[in-house]
Amino acid sequence: MKRSIALLLALILLLCGCSAPSAETEPTEKQYSQNYPKIENPVSAERIAQFPVKSGDMTEAEMRKLAVDFFEYSKTALWTPDREFHYIKTGEGATDDIHLGVIYGGLPYIAVASGNVYRLAEYADENGVVDMTEAEKEPKRFGNQCSLASSWGWARVINSAEFSWTYQMVHQKGFLRVGPYTYNDNLVRFGGGASPTTGAIANENGPEVMFQSYAAMKMADGLVNYNEAGHAMMVYRDPVVVIGPNNKIDGASSYVEIIDQFGSWTESTTEDGVTYTHKDYVGRKMTFTQLLQDGYLPFTFAEFSGADPIEETECVYSHSGDTINTQQLMAATVTANYSISDVFICLKDGDKTVLRDVYRADTVGVKSTNIYKALSTKQWAEYTDKGYTVEISVQLGTGECPVIYTGKFVP
């Protein structure tokens, strides 16, 4: 299976819609109880909320651990569907299936869409059973590319990186090279046609320089390649470096552990003995020699290096005032300094939600968006004269979900 072209740092992330045809007849509630075991480590909003949120007083080590911990959780969160689910997983139209009664971990690999564990948690009950009837309306939630999987972890603390359209590892893009390897920033556009590939860059620098660069990596740094296809992954632990008798790094014995998203199903068992199906690695070892052969280049982020500080979260809605109508609701813009995952628009009668829409960001790194795509003018206009309240909240990559506007809905 071809790996997806990693968008993150220098690779253009190819995103497009995917369809989810209706599958089997809905099981009855009685069948649900017969088919689903209680899941020991279910995905849940409460569990996600237990993770700390980035803050300016975090040390570099704390920031790095937070990114890794959240990525690891997104891989180990367990869930099971309430019915058979059929979806497209690659640009060529190849399909995959989510099966009734099977326990899954994390998100499947899917080359044409993106999802994150925040979204998955919305449709899982207390036993980790996911309501596929609702979820299939937005199939992008049920798959991750390699780069997106890593990015949701980094987005817990990073706001400087241009995740979506970054071609070079330079400070103004939020990415920094790790170690002594070099290339000409003005000539390189990863994935940009005739540009030098990462493999060519690695070969030009040579084994000694590249091994020194791999040795300089730390937990939560990244590795990227782009040759015929691309891949991006996160460093899971600081590397193990072995010095040979010639006082040089032994590439065959030195290694790094990585967290990865890939395209083949595999099975694992939790410490509690629960077997689950997943499409990812956690803690896979790769030697420095393997990294060099595959043309991987190591990188870090400005926040991890101390070049940029962790900022306080800023998230605003462009409309102000105590009242808002349908046209203003659709025209206003949400802007944040950290990546926007989802924007929730709720119409409320006291504490009761009367109408709810959501705008889903297609990729990590979106920091400003108009939410009109989520709204039906006709549908919202029907409620204008009811005296209801509009509440808008934003799910950020950091894990925060602030309410950014509350006002009366008027004609």
More confident residue, 204 or 10: 204
Report the alpha-carbon distance of residue 409 to residue 36 in Å, rounded.
Answer: 42
Q: Of the given ranges (81-95, 206-220, 380-394), which has the lowest mean pLDDT?
A: 81-95
- How confident is the model over 129-141, as a mean pLDDT? 77
**CATH number at 315-409:** 2.60.40
pLDDT of residue 92 exceeding 70, the answer is no
Strand order in the sheet with 275-287: 129-130, 78-81, 104-105, 275-287, 255-269, 230-235, 222-226, 297-301, 175-177
Distance CA 356, CA 334 (A): 17
CB atoms within 10 A of CB 298: 25
Q: Give the model confidence (pLDDT) of 190-202 as tens digits.
A: 655 567 888 999 9
pLDDT in tens, 300-353: 999 998 899 999 999 999 999 999 999 999 999 999 999 999 999 999 999 999
- Tell me the C-alpha distance between 251 and 11, whole Å: 27
SS3 label, residue 377? helix
Residue 89 reports pLDDT greater than 80:
no
Span 365-374, average pLDDT: 89
Cα–Cα distance for residue pair 13/224, rounded to 1 Å: 13
| Comparison of pLDDT for 45 and 240, the residue scoring more | 240
Element (H, E) at 152: helix 146-154
Look at 86-100, 354-368, 369-383, 385-399 and tell me which has the smallest mean pLDDT: 86-100
Q: Where are the alpha helices (DSSP H) in 174-263?
A: 198-205, 207-215
Exposure b/e, 346-373, CB count within 10 A at least 16 = b: bbbeeeeeebebbbbbebbbbbebebee
| Pairing outcome for strands 129-130 and 78-81 | parallel
Mean pLDDT of the chain: 85
Lowest mean pLDDT among 5-19, 238-252, 275-289: 5-19
pLDDT at 186 over 50: yes
CB 169 within 8 A of CB 143: no
The mean pLDDT of 397-405, rounded to a whole number, is 95
What's phi and psi for 321, nearest 5 deg?
Answer: 110, 165
Amino acid at 305: S
- What pTM was estimated for this model as a whole? 0.86
- Show the tokens assigned to 405: 């506007």
Nearest Cα to Cα of residue 392 among 337, 355, 339, 338: 355
Q: Which residue has the higher pLDDT, 397 or 164?
A: 397
Distance CA 325, CA 56 (A): 38
Select the more confidently predicted residue: 135 or 244.
244
Helix (H) or strand (E) holding 301: strand 297-301
Is 204 a residue whose pLDDT tops 80? yes
User: What does 194-219 look like in DSSP terms, one character per residue?
Assistant: TSPPHHHHHHHH-HHHHHHHHHT--T
Portions of the chain given CATH number 2.60.40:
315-409
Spatial separation of the C-alpha atoms in residues 343 and 359, rounded to whole Å = 5
Q: Which of 71-75, 156-160, 186-190 has the lowest mean pLDDT?
A: 186-190
